[in-house]
Amino acid sequence: MQYHGPCTRNLLFLHPWFQVSILFSGFRGLQNTKRGSYWPAKEIHFQATHSMPPEKIEIFKSMESWAEKNLLKHLKPVEKSWQPQDFLPRADSEGFYEQVEELRERAKELPDDYFVVLAGDMITEEALPTYQTALNTLDGVRDETGASLSPWAVWNRGWTAEENRHGDLLNKYLYLSGRVDMRQIEKTIQYLIGCGMDFKCENNPYNFFIYTSFQERATFISHGNTARLARRYGDNKLAHICGTIAADEKRHEIAYTMIVEKLFEIDPDTTVLALADMMRKKIVMPALLIYDGQDDNLFDNYSAVAQKLGVYTAKDYAENIEFLVGRWNVEGLTGLSGEGRRAQDFVCRLPARIRRLEERAQEKANKAPAIRFSWIRY
């Protein structure tokens, strides 16, 4: 059996799901009859597990009352939450077919590349089972029973429930638009969930909450930019959809950055070391292993379109680092160990280093040849 996936190369991850340069020593076309099509088509190098000392678990246990008071308020009650049906034609209404036709007419005005990014965003959102699984590997904050009443577990499930609506809404919109090949998209989702993702967080909530702070801010920016572009092309209803999802991501960003801010207050040395560790490993996309059954370079090609359209760029990534380093006042930390001070210096210098890559990344995206994606009906 032959295994396919994005080819190995040193590249710049520009979309919110794959935000900066990282070198993979992956493999392609591996023959192994013992492996099935869900085996990732890249080697996973960062599978260290349970790196957090046991005494640090107690810090998260001691934060439960804080989490209940400060974290859970960022989840909206279900009865006050929007649902995908609020934005889509109602199948039980007399004007359903007319509403669908109007949606399809508006969709005709959007360029193919826009639908590449929108489809990629939706596919990544639909791989939500992988992300909840990752949350439930974290030492000290996992949902131990599947229905635990620990504030950390309630947050994990509530966050997942809110995020689940994003994929549902974009999936239904794309289906109704008639602009995409839904079967190819559905295959891509199945591949992606089956392959999973290594977030390089080592079951360590210090690392993972830093990761989610970056990811939520990045997705807020990305969905905000897809909203802006939809409005530019005259589809105000799609702009409203993307803007509503962006607002959710912003609320989640606030929650995750609050957790990290609290960790800096309680345990600054460990937290700044975790931040430097994640920055050295690079923040990689949850959908790094995206594959549609045809394109070995799907990941690379998708990232180039996102950069070219300005949906999420190297500039955005640098600004995200700058914003969060400022938000957490990393430069002002005192009382650190020698190792902590070195980590602090590395992190504070990083945005300037990333910015030097911006022009090169945009130039590379502009020169990239036009690629036909299996998701799009050309």
Binding residues: 125, 163, 166, 216, 249, 252
Cα–Cα distance, 246 to 64 (Å, whole number) = 28
| 216 noted as active-site residue | yes
Catalytic annotation present for 249: yes
- 125 has catalytic annotation: yes
Element (H, E) at 118: helix 112-126
* Residue/partner pairs of 248-252 with CB below 8 Å, 24 or more apart: 248/162, 248/163, 248/165, 248/166, 249/216, 249/217, 249/219, 249/220, 249/223, 250/216, 250/220, 251/74, 251/76, 252/74, 252/159, 252/162, 252/163, 252/212, 252/216
Query: 66, 82, 137, 261: which is the annotated catalytic residue?
Result: 82
Displacement of CA 231 from its chain's centroid (Å): 23
Radius of gyration for the alpha carbons in the chain, expressed in angstroms and rounded: 21
Residue 74 among the catalytic residues: no
Pairing, β 10-11 against β 22-23:
antiparallel
Q: Which of 113, 126, 249, 296 is catalytic?
A: 249
Distance CA 230, CA 125 (A): 19
Residues within the annotated binding site for Fe cation?
125, 163, 166, 216, 249, 252
Residues 6+ positions from 315 with CB-CB distance below 8 Å: 355, 358
Distance CA 31, CA 280 (A): 32
User: Whole-angstrom Cα distance, residue 194 to residue 311?
Assistant: 27
Catalytic residue among 163, 235, 295, 316: 163
Please tell me whether residue 329 adopts helix, strand or coil conformation.
Answer: coil
Catalytic, out of 166, 202, 226, 316: 166
Cα separation, 149 vs 153, whole angstroms? 6
Cβ contact 298:6 at 8 Å: yes
Closest residue by Cα to residue 18 from 310, 297, 367, 314: 314
Select which of 152, 252, 270, 358 is catalytic: 252
Catalytic residue among 139, 143, 168, 216: 216
Catalytic residue at 82? yes
Identify the active-site residue in 121, 248, 253, 316: 248
CA distance 263 to 141: 14
**Is residue 219 annotated as a catalytic residue, yes or no?**
yes
In this structure, are residues 242 and 233 in contact, taking their beta carbons and an 8 Å threshold? no
Which has the closest alpha carbon to 215: 127, 154, 153?
Answer: 127
Catalytic residue selected from 124, 130, 188, 219 = 219
SS3 category, 77: coil
Q: Which residues are catalytic?
A: 82, 125, 163, 166, 216, 219, 248-249, 252
